[in-house]
Structure 1
Amino acid sequence: MARPRQFDEHVALEAAMNRFWERGYERTTVRDLSDQMGVTLSSFFNTFGDKRSVFERALQLYVLEVVGPLTAHFEEDAAPLTILERFFADLIGKSLEDPDNKGCLVANSIVDLAPHDAVFREAVLQIMGRFEKSFEKLIRRGQREGTVNASLSPKEVASLLLALMVSLRVLVRARPERALLEGAIRPVFMLLAMPTCGAKSSKRRQKTSSEN
């Protein structure tokens, strides 16, 4: 008869996720993981495989438990700018709640793994791509409804919001200051909500030129 496992696999994976989140992939050893997960090395290899396999599952768990609640904002029945404001407020709030200032496992992986690991780079790009598409969808809806600056390119705005999201999660690791993080997003929402003075002047110049 096979011996029953003496550990909870989900709890062990959460522990692995937190270890990768704290130390990064390269600085985390198999011994670190087995100690943190509370399993013997033999149980580690028999149940989870190698470090790479554990990281893949830990990243999936992170997306489910940490990223999932954030993406839930995209399904809210509210104006696009309101949804985006709630999203970034939640992002900042969760970042500041972390006493260890770990930032984001996905964003950290962009620096730690993506440059030299094609498989992990693709996995991270897929996660980022889902955010980018959600941002673009919201901007397009806002422009149709007349609540978002129609002079802006939805694709470019989506790229800007993605860059802002990643930057905030990296910045909080060094400067976990609410005023700094909220100040970084405020000009972006001013841009989205109304045309800039330069854009208005440019349109007036174009109109005058065409009339002449």
Structure 2
Amino acid sequence: MGRPISYKPEQLLGDVTELFWRKGYFATSVADLVKTTGLNPGSIYNAYGNKVGLLEASLEFYGDRSIKRARKSMGQSPNIEKAVSGFFQRLIDSMVEDPDAKGCFLVNTWLELASHNVSIKSRIQSIFDGIEREFREALVRAQTRGGLKQEANPQVLAKYLMMSIWGLRVMGRMNPERAQLEAVANQSMAALRAVVVKHDFDLAL
């Protein structure tokens, strides 16, 4: 039986995102999509245009959640070192606890499709930029209140942290061993600690 017309798009996109994430775009068949969504091919195409359109909607769904998680993480603590460290720790926990070692949906899709599809590449880049912006703005706030040295460059530091995150994501797909992931994260945190002012005041972000 097909999924009722009253299906919730958010749940459907969550299910489809998981499917694309687990199998990859090219390995996901229309039959897989029909089975996962409960919709017939015509309904899928009417709602999303085609398979690429459904992938784009899934990327938007995943990307929006990723940006919101980054924003929340950067607001978890008024201490920038603790906020970034907490983000890394939650990231590592999610990779270690994933039995399928799927890595990152954004990174996986970028590696699979970015060289073939300009629209997909642009969409993923926009999400990357959104996550980086959350880090940069948190670093600027920390610097403004005296928690980050004035010689620090929030823009460059945010890019460095992003590179570390995506590197961890790739590592997590190949070999999600906690000790190795934490060692890399700690090395990345060292760059942040070098410019953190240790008397970061307990002020709200």
TM-score range, shorter chain: 0.7 to 0.9
Give the structure, 1 or 2, with the largest relative contact order (CA under 8 Å, sep 6 or more): 2
Write the distance in 2 (CA, Å) between the matches of 1:123 and 1:134.
Answer: 17
Write the distance in 2 (CA, Å) between the matches of 1:27 and 1:69.
Answer: 28
How is 1:131-146 mapped onto 2 (pairs within 5 angstroms)? 131-146=131-146
Write the distance in 1 (CA, Å) between the matches of 2:53 and 2:38.
Answer: 17
Give the SS at the match of 1:5. Answer: coil
Indicate yes or no: 2:89 matched with 1:82: no
Q: Which amino acid aligns with 1:131?
A: I
Structure 2 length-normalised TM: 0.82
Deviation at 1:149, TM superposition (A): 5.0
- 8 Å Cα contact 1:107-1:169 kept in structure 2: yes
Match of 1:206 in 2: none
Q: Which amino acid aligns with 2:110?
A: I
Deviation at 1:82, TM superposition (A): 1.1
Cα displacement string for residues 95-118 of structure 1 (whole angstroms, at most 9, x for unaligned residues):
222111111111112211222211
Match of 1:158 in 2: 158
Structure 1 length-normalised TM: 0.79
Match of 1:17 in 2: 17
Write the distance in 1 (CA, Å) between the matches of 2:152 and 2:127.
Answer: 24
Write the distance in 1 (CA, Å) between the matches of 2:70 and 2:34.
Answer: 30
Structure-2 change in CA distance of 1:8 and 1:188 (3 Å) = closer
Which residues of structure 2 form unaligned runs of 5+?
196-205
- 8 Å Cα contact 2:67-2:127 kept in structure 1: no
Indicate yes or no: 2:106 matched with 1:115: no
Match of 1:59 in 2: 59
- 8 Å Cα contact 2:70-2:134 kept in structure 1: no
Match of 1:186 in 2: 186
More helix by share: 1
Deviation at 1:71, TM superposition (A): 3.0
- 8 Å Cα contact 1:115-1:121 kept in structure 2: yes
Indicate yes or no: 2:79 matched with 1:98: no
Write the distance in 2 (CA, Å) between the matches of 1:136 and 1:39.
Answer: 41
- 8 Å Cα contact 1:76-1:83 kept in structure 2: yes
Write the distance in 1 (CA, Å) between the matches of 2:11 and 2:130.
Answer: 27
Larger Rg: 1
Write the distance in 2 (CA, Å) between the matches of 1:64 and 1:42.
Answer: 27
Write the distance in 2 (CA, Å) between the matches of 1:151 and 1:46.
Answer: 54
Cα displacement string for residues 59-100 of structure 1 (whole angstroms, at most 9, x for unaligned residues):
122124455334311233411111111111111112222111
- 8 Å Cα contact 2:103-2:173 kept in structure 1: yes
Write the distance in 2 (CA, Å) between the matches of 1:10 and 1:153.
Answer: 38
Q: Which amino acid aligns with 1:156?
A: V
Question: May I ask how many residue pairs the two structures share in their alignment?
Answer: 192
- 8 Å Cα contact 1:103-1:170 kept in structure 2: yes
Write the distance in 2 (CA, Å) between the matches of 1:8 and 1:133.
Answer: 30
